[in-house]
Structure 1
């Protein structure tokens, strides 16, 4: 498996086992960030917004000649220090327990997406640069003021925060904070190797932009909260 999956009550992560090597002299990454559903993939089943099964998905095509996957390959081919990160709200997924039907379906779905990428001859080059984060639904059994969870924060200090579910869901920037911490950990930030990875955010692309046809503006607000340029899928995947 190209990625290690981590499932916590408030977050699902898929991180590459062998991330793109960085220069010690200039440990910089250009970050291209995306939403997942209806931005990179969509259900194969017609006239449905959500996948019905783990294999009910396909890469989208805003351009009849190229898929969204082709464009992701274009990005890493043109930019040698590009990293692709996906931030997705998954309101239909519950990770408590981890064996829940919705969690199992989502984990299997992402595993199939990664497998499809690997099957392409260019796949390994993208997989080493691909990070995926998903914010699941708060289980109904949990009560905010009575149940607290401890998670690693961006500063590596544990936090005890009953509002963590809200903070990791877009438009809040919690998922990006976890990504920043994971990047530093992946590239060996320590007393023996004090390298701080520099992240140059290029843009964030998503379909929830507050247009008449959109279900919300959470993607556009997420980009604003990150202070990152926002782009529509139609812009990125038709260029």
Structure 2
């Protein structure tokens, strides 16, 4: 692994940027004390950049976005944006995760020189990084901040940093971090997307994309660049001038192609009945059950029973009984994978001598994975992503619904795109991590 290169400090720039001083043991101790005082005020010791937090606390109490930004710096039409880990830097110790803020080394000795060159050519340097581990390790955020600050000092150029702190709506490849930068941190200067780019290592490259090279762990960075409309570069292309590789896979559906195949939904379709009944929805997580219930049953005075809201099966059954006793029809908006999860509701309908219908959301599982991320963006993080274990449990317990269980009918509903707003349609078209 190449050693970290220490670029020579530049002369004081015309924009009055702070010159980085050469480090000696005595100065190191003095700087450390001053550094901690400035950090306590939310400031870094370079370029008047300050740490900020944005959004309501999620998960373990961390705000979804932490960012480093300087409001005294002019906006820029050209941006050079980067992932951080395995793109700008590697873990110095060789461990999977950095042990502390000093456990890093430049990805290649050319990196700081290239960054300084881009800055001198008028690019705004930006880091967009996913750091989901912050939700689990409360001390990690401070390490990441200090690492970013040291990185900036060595480059001797201002670098904005945007950190998605967990599994939230700011996490790449979602566009929220980039959108936030454009709307709040670029002094209303329009981005020249043709002359800007994003660089990252999660490029979806397949095994042996180059002789002896392993496949990338994901394609999130390539997807992020596509979603925000910037050209994409791998670290090899950006810092080593290697040719772009064509050996990659997106690793998920192309939403634009998928939606073209699906066609458009029938806006006049009706599914409700005018007499009392009980309806059971069945389908994988994020298959569209809640939207189906809200769109086609709730306007007709059906009570919606959902375990995500009520938490337990017992509370769902109780809520269904109370709604039926009040004279309402009821929709059970749960995954209901096995016959045993549906049986109590069928019995409930038989006791009241009302029909029980089943609607199966026949949404392809790969599309469910996409929708899982889409609704995180649509709800601005209020709805959390369902982890893979949720899909595994569904598959394990799945039994196809049948009229032999006691249903008056079983109807399969194919997914067709119908969006409540232009914003929802735009979000659907973005690549996701699925």
Q: Do both share a fold (TM > 0.5)?
A: yes
How do 1:115-194 and structure 2 match up within 5 A? Answer: 115-117=153-155, 123=156, 126-127=157-158, 130-138=159-167, 165=168, 167-184=169-186, 187=187
Contact 1:13 1:132 in 2 (8 A): yes
Partner of 2:92: 44
Q: Distance in 2 between matches of 1:214 and 1:179?
A: 27
Contact 2:112 2:154 in 1 (8 A): no
Contact 1:10 1:95 in 2 (8 A): no
Q: Distance in 2 between matches of 1:221 and 1:179?
A: 18
Structure 1 residues 4 and 32 mapped into 2: Cα distance closer, same or farther (>3 Å)?
same
Structure with max Cα Rg:
2
Q: Distance in 2 between matches of 1:7 and 1:51?
A: 23
> Which structure shows the bigger proportion of residues in helix conformation?
2
Partner of 1:198: 190
* Alignment RMSD: 2.0
Partner of 1:191: none
Partner of 2:18: none
TM-score normalised by the chain length of structure 2: 0.39
1:101: Cα distance to partner?
A: 1.2
Q: Distance in 1 between matches of 2:147 and 2:136?
A: 15
The alignment partner of 1:29 has SS state of coil
Larger relative contact order, structure 1 or 2 (CA cutoff 8 Å, min sep 6): 1
- Count of residues in Structure 1 that have an aligned counterpart in Structure 2: 177
> Which structure shows the bigger proportion of residues in strand conformation?
1
Contact 1:7 1:95 in 2 (8 A): no
Gaps of 5+ in 2: 1-44, 55-62, 207-214, 242-434
Runs of 4+ in 1 over 3 A off after TM superposition: none
Gaps of 5+ in 1: 23-27, 118-122, 139-164, 188-195
Q: Distance in 2 between matches of 1:42 and 1:18?
A: 31
Match status 1:15 vs 2:69: yes
Match of 2:102 among 35, 48, 55: 55
Q: Distance in 1 between matches of 2:82 and 2:67?
A: 15
User: 1:134-169: CA deviations, max 9, x gaps?
Assistant: 10125xxxxxxxxxxxxxxxxxxxxxxxxxx1x211
User: 1:48-100: CA deviations, max 9, x gaps?
Assistant: 23211111011121xxxx421111112123x2x3111111111111399xxx2
Partner of 2:355: none
